[in-house]
């Protein structure tokens, strides 16, 4: 066990975590040079493109140290986004140490701090690394100062490296074995293994990735998942060395995979504890928390014919993504779809992208919503995350909405505009701290609903990209909620209805109307677009009738070209949704529901 | 004129002195040697068509002889009269052409001297169509035309003096910056010249033309849709008052006898055979065409092979869509009873609500089986054609 090190890398987005992981893998020879694709651990296309890790991956490396010993290094990759902080927690719980990556030119960022605290919560030994030392803008001394002042770590412990160039990688590996502690645990004790990730294999079912804390896991063993209280028989255990490598057992201290004939990831819960069914442990490992969706949106296929395909696609995605929830939903404007729950906006984005790319589906998503708690006059309490299920206002006694605690780090020159942004977004209890020279951390309590609506984009704009954002869920607070409907020629477009705070209703409605005005093509008749609360119109725009739409010339008998154009337009028309005889193209829904403001 | 309901012949003459910046036709600026090569190859194509005129892909060729011959381009008036004569003789010799076939010639004003016009008239051309485009100096130069307003007027006088049955003229409007007053002046000038037929085309900026590239670079702003609509409606109203009532989106004539016999064949799926580069042909629900580039058209001919590049067989839905889209461009509208495959009644029933709405909105009138666009409907003929649902025809083969 002394030769095992379980560690993860924590870093701010883009500070080079995946690149470092790649180098570690390479220098341990886990993969041949010619097979090497950059950022091996980020296996999804979307992850590669965006340069962020969404689904964590784990790899076991065999490192031959100059001290003559061979070490087993379990590198547990963690997702790099707040939406996936539950996964981060799980991963951290499986480690004894963490490499904390700091960009030599950018210094310590908000997320670095947040992740550090998280890592400290789990008693991890922290090894700071200063990466990207090859950059002309690298300022190692400054980075050291920040490590000391912002993070409270010993700056002279920091290992210097450039993951991109491959410099200092040997030093990193040596520091891992000498500075990070080996795992503890007793192979003879009762089995306790933490499931911190799961994959889905179409042939083998669920592949659980776990850290064995105590005891042993072996094929043939009868196991019990302590929280879900289900029993299975272990078929196979092994290590993840970029591919699965079978082994006879996983003993206390190791990290590996378990296959036990489980059909979908829904049957297990990340964070659950595996124990032996015959001689179970007394207690599960601590830290189990259900991943609860906080952002909800309805997904409709662009073409109603694709509903079946969407159903299949969501089922398949869910095999791999236990945090995604969905149930049937339907809209008068958009037909059948699904009401889906996500961990956050990025999670929503990722699911949407995957549905598009991997399943080739054209989709319309309704405006993301949070889940409101509503107390009716009758005293009954209901949760509403779907505007179409919003009860009649006369029956509502009171409503509450979720708040988050936002933490924003930025160079101090932006503090004014960011505070203004928080105020606009109904922020409360805004406080700020000057961290180091020139840097400020601002915390504010914000309604999550406002964060969903263009907060990230505005923050990015006002801080010119220098602001970083992190949040945690806080609590539910009372709110003055209204349902804003959008009417096209007097007919409500249910998919565009939104629950909003009364103060924001008019502005939001106006913006929707304007977006629709820009994107709905002119038609044979005049179109009125209105925003309304109940019967009261609060915003209005119009689209004038189209008055000229005919090609000048059908010449030389080349009617084919003209017809094909018309056919293409007709196809386009079919993909439009008709509301009150107005044809609304997909782009209009997307433009309205897009949160950023392109103007 | 109902006697001219046989198939038509189209001859594409791809030459121009200069290529207009808005043009996306198959054209080239070739010297005389190109023209003679062109004529040689056209004669080869006519040779290949000897007999019925129709290629093998039409196994039951139309029985009626050709009753129109249309020389379009390009600039057919650039061809030497001898060449025109040779082509006409070959057509009459080798294809079934009615003796009294109606002959059309497109001409550029600068080519239309009284002498030339008289020669063409003597060769049997009955309609001459003049590419005047504008009577305003600055618009002519914007459009890259070579002639002056004076030449334009002179050419019309010459054509009328030469005694053509129909003197036709093309104008282009909807130019960037053109005001209603500008356009009214053009129309007045056109009316003053007393042509029998007028085509008024709104400028379409095609991609991959000099105008298209200018638009891409942001150097050419197309006219706003509302202004285009204004001009469109104004054109139809003014010309009606001026004695040239419209009968199609872009076509106006002093009387039905001057309606373009040849274009009407395109609009009614009457068979037509096109020869020359880029020429399109249609018969028996099939449409086929020659390559656009002159070399690609000549190469197979030089080896004694047909130059046809590709084609399509129109399914019932496509055929009906074309009938609707073309019919709704005409004042006469669409008689559903004459729609291909006897589909009219079903289609009408399927679209009853849509038709009602078109009528309600003043875009069309519906009388028995006829759907006729109003002027406002004509202005959005494409929208109207798109609004009709043809899904009930989807599964049927021709």
Largest CA distance in chain B: 60
DSSP state of A150: T
Contacts of B384 in chain A (CB under 8 A): 524
What is the reported pLDDT for A23?
A: 86
Helix (H, G, I), strand (E, B) or coil at B249: coil
Q: What is the nearest CA distance from B378 to chain A, expressed in angstroms? A: 8
pLDDT digits (tens, 9 = 90+) for B24-55: 887 888 778 899 999 999 999 999 998 889 99
- Phi, psi dihedrals of residue A292, rounded to the nearest 5°: -105, 135
Hey, is the C-beta of B83 within 8 angstroms of any chain A C-beta?
A: no
Helix (H, G, I), strand (E, B) or coil at A103: strand
**What is the H or E stretch that residue A451 is in?**
helix A448-452
What is the reported pLDDT for A403?
A: 94
pLDDT at A266 over 80: no
pLDDT digits (tens, 9 = 90+) for B81-135: 999 999 999 999 999 999 999 999 999 999 999 999 999 999 999 999 999 999 9
What is the reported pLDDT for A287?
A: 66
What is the reported pLDDT for A598?
A: 41
Measured CA distances, A107 to A104, A161, A420, A543 (Å): 6, 14, 26, 51
Tally of CA atoms within 13 A in the half-sphere of B341 that contains its CB: 20
Q: Which of residues 213-272 of B touch A (CB under 8 A)?
A: 225-226, 228-229, 232, 249-250, 266-267, 272
Measured CA distances, B279 to A13, A483, B310 (Å): 60, 60, 11
> Exposure of A598 by Cβ count < 10 A (0-12 exposed, 13-18 middle, 19+ buried)?
exposed
Retrieve residue B179's tokens. Answer: 């005001």
Q: Which of residues 346-375 of B touch A (CB under 8 A)?
A: 357-358, 361, 363
Q: b vs e for A439-448, b when ≥16 Cβ sit within 10 Å of the residue's Cβ?
A: bbbbbbbbbb
Nearest by CB: B229 against A547, A551, A562: A547
Contacts of B383 in chain A (CB under 8 A): 523-524, 546, 549
The Cα B67–Cα B5 span in angstroms is 8
pLDDT digits (tens, 9 = 90+) for A279-314: 999 999 886 666 778 899 999 988 878 899 999 899
The Cα A495–Cα A487 span in angstroms is 11
* Inter-chain CB proximity A547 and B380 less than 8 Å: yes
Contacts of B382 in chain A (CB under 8 A): 549-551, 566, 569
Helix (H, G, I), strand (E, B) or coil at A180: coil
Helix (H, G, I), strand (E, B) or coil at A527: strand
What is the fold of A4-179? Rossmann fold (3.40.50)
* Inter-chain CB proximity A554 and B274 less than 8 Å: no
Nearest to A429 by CA among A443, A440, A418: A443
Retrieve residue A579's tokens. Answer: 């509301």
Residues 6+ apart with CB under 8 A from A37: none
What is the reported pLDDT for B246?
A: 97
- Domain A373-479 and domain A482-593, same fold? Reply is yes
Average pLDDT over residues A567-575: 79
Where does the pLDDT of residue B151 fall: very low under 50, low under 70, confident under 90, or very high at 90 and above? very high
What is the reported pLDDT for A45?
A: 52
Interface test mutation site (partner A, options B175, B380, B385, max chain A beta carbons within 10 A): B380
- Phi, psi dihedrals of residue B381, rounded to the nearest 5°: -55, -35
Where does the pLDDT of residue A547 fall: very low under 50, low under 70, confident under 90, or very high at 90 and above? confident
Beta strand residue intervals within chain B, DSSP E:
8-13, 66-73, 97-107, 125-133, 166-173, 197-202, 246-248, 251-253, 272-275, 280-283, 286-289, 310-313, 334-335, 364-367, 370-373
The Cα B308–Cα B289 span in angstroms is 6
Residues 6+ apart with CB under 8 A from A459: A408, A418, A421, A467, A469
Contacts of B322 in chain A (CB under 8 A): 559, 563
Interface test mutation site (partner A, options B131, B386, B389, max chain A beta carbons within 10 A): B386
The Cα A197–Cα A186 span in angstroms is 23
What is the reported pLDDT for A468?
A: 75
Interface test mutation site (partner B, options A525, A527, A545, A552, max chain B beta carbons within 10 A): A552
Contacts of B250 in chain A (CB under 8 A): 552-553
Q: Are A6 and A76 in contact (CB under 8 A)?
A: yes
Q: Which residue has the tokens 């019309």?
A: B156
The Cα A32–Cα A170 span in angstroms is 18
Alpha helices (H) in A74-109, listed in sequence order: 85-93
The residue of chain B nearest to residue A583, with distances taken between CA atoms, is B387
Nearest to A370 by CA among A445, A427, A295, A293: A295
What class has domain A192-276? mainly beta
In chain A, DSSP finds a helix count (H) and a strand count (E) of: 14, 33
pLDDT at A56 over 70: no
pLDDT digits (tens, 9 = 90+) for A92-149: 888 999 998 888 888 777 667 767 777 777 888 999 999 888 888 888 888 888 888 7
Rg of the Cα atoms in chain A: 27
pLDDT at A412 over 90: no
The number of beta carbons lying within 10 Å of the beta carbon of residue B194 is 14
Handedness of CA B14, B16, B21, B23 (dihedral sign): negative
**Which of A2-16, A210-224, A382-396 is predicted with the least confidence, judged by mean pLDDT?**
A2-16
* Inter-chain CB proximity A558 and B280 less than 8 Å: yes
Q: What is the nearest CA distance from A309 to chain B, expressed in angstroms? A: 23
* Inter-chain CB proximity A559 and B329 less than 8 Å: no
- Higher-confidence residue of A52 and A59: namely A59
A491-492 and A439-447 strand pairing: unpaired
Retrieve residue A424's tokens. Answer: 């606009």
Retrieve residue A376's tokens. Answer: 């009716």
Q: How far is CA B222 from the centre of its chain?
A: 23
Q: What is the nearest CA distance from A549 to chain B, expressed in angstroms? A: 4
Tally of CA atoms within 13 A in the half-sphere of A54 that contains its CB: 23
pLDDT digits (tens, 9 = 90+) for B180-223: 999 999 999 999 999 999 999 999 998 888 999 999 999 999 99
Hey, is the C-beta of B69 within 8 angstroms of any chain A C-beta?
A: no
Interface test mutation site (partner B, options A303, A556, A564, A570, max chain B beta carbons within 10 A): A556
Nearest by CB: B280 against A524, A547, A556: A556
* Inter-chain CB proximity B225 and A550 less than 8 Å: no
Q: Which of residues 143-172 of B touch A (CB under 8 A)?
A: none
Hey, is the C-beta of B2 within 8 angstroms of any chain A C-beta?
A: no
What is the reported pLDDT for A556?
A: 60
> Exposure of A117 by Cβ count < 10 A (0-12 exposed, 13-18 middle, 19+ buried)?
exposed
Q: What is the nearest CA distance from A433 to chain B, expressed in angstroms? A: 49
Q: Are B173 and B202 in contact (CB under 8 A)?
A: yes
Interface test mutation site (partner B, options A547, A568, A578, A582, max chain B beta carbons within 10 A): A547
Q: How far is CA A52 from the centre of its chain?
A: 10
Average pLDDT over residues B285-312: 93
**Which of A423-437, B80-94, B134-148 is predicted with the least confidence, judged by mean pLDDT?**
A423-437
What is the reported pLDDT for B397?
A: 46
What is the fold of A482-593? Alpha-Beta Plaits (3.30.70)
The residue of chain A nearest to residue B363, with distances taken between CA atoms, is A524
Nearest to A9 by CA among A146, A137, A175: A175
The Cα A525–Cα A209 span in angstroms is 60
Q: b vs e for A171-206, b when ≥16 Cβ sit within 10 Å of the residue's Cβ?
A: ebbebbbebbebbebebeeebbbbbbbbbbeeebbb
Question: Where along chain A do its domains lie?
Answer: 4-179, 192-276, 295-366, 373-479, 482-593
Measured CA distances, A592 to A529, A530, B284 (Å): 13, 13, 48
Q: Which of residues 6-65 of B touch A (CB under 8 A)?
A: 10, 12, 25
Nearest by CB: B380 against A549, A553, A581: A549
* Inter-chain CB proximity A556 and B202 less than 8 Å: no
Rg of the Cα atoms in chain B: 21
Contacts of B266 in chain A (CB under 8 A): 554, 557, 559
Nearest to A73 by CA among A144, A34, A127: A127
Q: Are A235 and A201 in contact (CB under 8 A)?
A: no
**Which of A174-178, A321-325, B32-36 is predicted with the least confidence, judged by mean pLDDT?**
A321-325
Q: Which residues on adjacent β-strands are paired with residue A205?
A: A201
A273-276 and A192-201 strand pairing: antiparallel
Interface test mutation site (partner A, options B373, B383, B387, B390, max chain A beta carbons within 10 A): B383
What is the reported pLDDT for A32?
A: 52
Retrieve residue A490's tokens. Answer: 């007097």
Q: Which residues on adjacent β-strands are paired with residue B200?
A: B171
CATH code of domain A373-479:
3.30.70.240
DSSP state of B15: B
What is the reported pLDDT for A31?
A: 55
DSSP state of A206: E
**What is the H or E stretch that residue A409 is in?**
strand A396-411
What is the fold of A295-366? Alpha-Beta Plaits (3.30.70)
What is the reported pLDDT for B2?
A: 47
Q: What is the nearest CA distance from A580 to chain B, expressed in angstroms? A: 13
Q: Which residue has the tokens 């969501």?
A: A314
Is the bond preceding residue B74 a cis peptide, omega within 30 degrees? yes
> Exposure of A490 by Cβ count < 10 A (0-12 exposed, 13-18 middle, 19+ buried)?
exposed
Question: First and final CA of chain B: distance in angstroms?
Answer: 30
The residue of chain B nearest to residue A544, with distances taken between CA atoms, is B226
The Cα A398–Cα B313 span in angstroms is 66
Chain-wide mean pLDDT for chain A? 84
* Inter-chain CB proximity A557 and B376 less than 8 Å: no
Contacts of A559 in chain B (CB under 8 A): 266, 280, 282, 287, 322, 326
Beta strand residue intervals within A54-191, DSSP E:
58-64, 70-76, 97-103, 125-131, 159-160
* List of domains in chain B: 8-266 (3.20.20.70), 316-393 (1.10.10)
The Cα A64–Cα A69 span in angstroms is 6
Hey, is the C-beta of B66 within 8 angstroms of any chain A C-beta?
A: no
What is B59-100 written as a DSSP string? Answer: SS--SSPEEEEEEEES-GGGS-HHHHHHHHHHHHHHS-EEEE
* Inter-chain CB proximity A555 and B202 less than 8 Å: no
């Amino acid at each position: 066990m002394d030769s095992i090190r379980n560690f993860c890398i924590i870093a701010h987005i883009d500070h080079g975590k995946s690149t470092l992981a790649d180098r570690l893998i390479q220098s341990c020879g886990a993969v041949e040079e010619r097979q090497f694709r950059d950022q091996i651990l980020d296996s999804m296309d979307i992850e590669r493109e965006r340069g962020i890790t969404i689904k964590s991956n784990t790899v076991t490396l065999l490192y031959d140290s100059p001290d003559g010993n061979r070490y087993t290094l379990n590198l547990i990759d963690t997702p790099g986004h707040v939406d996936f902080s539950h996964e981060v927690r799980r991963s951290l719980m499986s480690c004894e140490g963490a490499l904390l990556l700091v960009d030599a030119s950018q210094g310590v960022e908000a997320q670095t701090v947040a992740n550090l605290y998280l890592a400290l919560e789990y008693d991890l030994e922290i090894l700071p690394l200063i990466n990207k030392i090859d950059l002309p803008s690298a300022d190692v001394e400054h980075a050291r100062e920040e490590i000391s002042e912002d993070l409270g770590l010993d700056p002279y412990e920091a290992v210097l490296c450039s993951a991109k160039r491959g410099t200092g990688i040997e030093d990193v590996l040596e520091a891992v074995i000498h500075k990070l502690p080996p795992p503890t645990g007793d192979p003879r004790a009762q089995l306790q293994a933490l499931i911190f990730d799961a994959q889905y294999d179409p042939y083998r079912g669920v592949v659980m990735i776990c850290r064995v804390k105590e005891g042993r896991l072996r094929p043939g063993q009868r196991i019990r998942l302590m929280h879900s209280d289900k029993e299975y028989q272990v078929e196979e255990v092994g290590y993840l060395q970029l591919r699965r490598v079978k082994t006879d057992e996983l003993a206390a201290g190791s990290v590996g995979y378990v296959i036990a004939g489980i059909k979908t990831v829904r049957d297990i819960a990340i964070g659950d504890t595996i124990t032996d069914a015959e001689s179970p442990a007394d207690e599960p490992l601590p830290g189990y928390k259900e991943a609860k969706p906080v952002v909800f949106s309805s997904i409709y296929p662009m073409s109603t014919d694709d509903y079946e395909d969407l159903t299949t696609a969501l089922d398949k995605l869910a095999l791999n993504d236990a945090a995604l929830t969905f149930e049937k939903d339907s809209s008068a404007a958009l037909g059948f779809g699904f009401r889906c729950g996500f961990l956050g906006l990025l999670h929503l984005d990722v699911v949407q992208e995957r549905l598009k790319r991997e399943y080739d589906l054209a989709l319309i998503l309704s405006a993301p919503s949070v889940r409101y708690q509503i107390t009716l006059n009758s005293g009954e309490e209901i949760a509403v995350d779907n505007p179409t299920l919003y009860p009649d206002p006369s029956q509502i006694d009171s409503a509450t909405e979720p708040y988050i605690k936002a933490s924003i780090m930025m160079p101090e020159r932006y503090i004014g505009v960011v505070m203004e942004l928080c105020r606009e977004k109904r922020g409360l209890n805004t406080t700020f701290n000057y961290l180091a020279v020139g840097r400020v951390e601002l915390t504010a309590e914000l309604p999550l609903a406002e964060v969903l609506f263009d907060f990230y984009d505005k923050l990015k704009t006002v801080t010119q990209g220098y602001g970083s954002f992190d949040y945690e869920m806080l609590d539910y607070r009372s709110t003055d909620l209204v349902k804003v409907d959008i009417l096209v020629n007097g007919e409500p477009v249910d998919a565009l209805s939104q629950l909003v705070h009364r103060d924001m209703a008019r502005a939001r409605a106006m913006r929707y109307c304007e977006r629709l005005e820009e994107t709905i093509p002119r038609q044979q008749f005049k179109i009125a677009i209105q925003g309304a609360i109940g019967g009261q119109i609060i915003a209005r725009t119009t689209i004038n009738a189209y008055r000229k739409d005919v090609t000048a010339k059908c010449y030389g008998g080349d009617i084919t070209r003209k017809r094909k154009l018309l056919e293409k337009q007709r196809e386009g028309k079919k993909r439009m949704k008709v509301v009150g005889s107005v044809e609304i193209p997909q782009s209009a829904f997307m433009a309205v529901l897009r949160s950023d403001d392109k103007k | 004129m109902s006697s001219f309901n046989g198939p038509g012949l189209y001859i594409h003459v791809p030459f121009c002195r200069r290529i207009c910046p808005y043009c996306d036709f198959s054209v080239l600026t070739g010297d005389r040697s190109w023209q003679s090569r062109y004529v040689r190859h056209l004669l080869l194509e006519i040779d290949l068509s000897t007999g019925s005129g129709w290629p093998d892909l039409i196994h039951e060729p139309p029985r009626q002889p050709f009753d129109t011959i249309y020389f379009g381009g390009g600039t057919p008036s650039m061809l030497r009269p001898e060449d025109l004569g040779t082509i006409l003789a070959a057509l009459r010799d080798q294809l079934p052409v009615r003796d009294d076939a109606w002959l059309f010639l497109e001409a550029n004003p600068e080519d239309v001297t009284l002498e030339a016009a008289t020669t063409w008239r003597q060769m049997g051309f009955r309609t001459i169509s003049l590419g005047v485009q504008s009577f305003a100096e600055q618009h002519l130069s914007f459009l890259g035309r070579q002639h002056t307003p004076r030449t334009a007027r002179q050419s019309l006088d010459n054509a009328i003096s030469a005694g053509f049955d129909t003197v036709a003229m093309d104008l282009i409007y909807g130019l960037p910056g053109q005001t209603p007053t500008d356009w009214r002046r053009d129309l007045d000038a056109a009316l003053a010249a007393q042509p029998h037929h007028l085509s008024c085309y709104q400028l379409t900026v095609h991609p991959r033309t000099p105008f298209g590239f200018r638009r891409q670079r942001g150097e050419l702003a197309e006219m706003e849709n509302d202004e285009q609509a204004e001009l469109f409606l104004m054109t139809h109203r003014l010309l009606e008052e001026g004695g040239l009532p419209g009968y199609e989106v872009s076509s106006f004539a002093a009387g039905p006898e001057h309606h373009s016999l040849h274009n009407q064949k395109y609009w009614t799926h009457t068979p037509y055979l096109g020869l020359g580069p880029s020429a399109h042909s249609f018969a028996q629900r099939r449409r086929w065409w020659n390559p656009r580039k002159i070399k690609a058209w000549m190469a197979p001919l030089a080896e004694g092979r047909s130059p046809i590049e590709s084609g399509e067989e129109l399914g019932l839905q496509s055929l009906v869509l074309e009938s609707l889209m073309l019919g709704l461009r005409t004042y006469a509208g669409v008689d559903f009873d004459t729609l291909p495959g006897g589909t009219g009644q079903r289609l009408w029933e399927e679209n009853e609500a849509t038709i009602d709405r078109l009528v309600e909105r003043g875009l069309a009138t519906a009388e028995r089986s006829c759907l006729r666009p109003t002027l406002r409907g004509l202005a959005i003929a494409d929208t109207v054609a798109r609004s009709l649902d043809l899904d009930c025809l989807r599964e049927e083969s021709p």
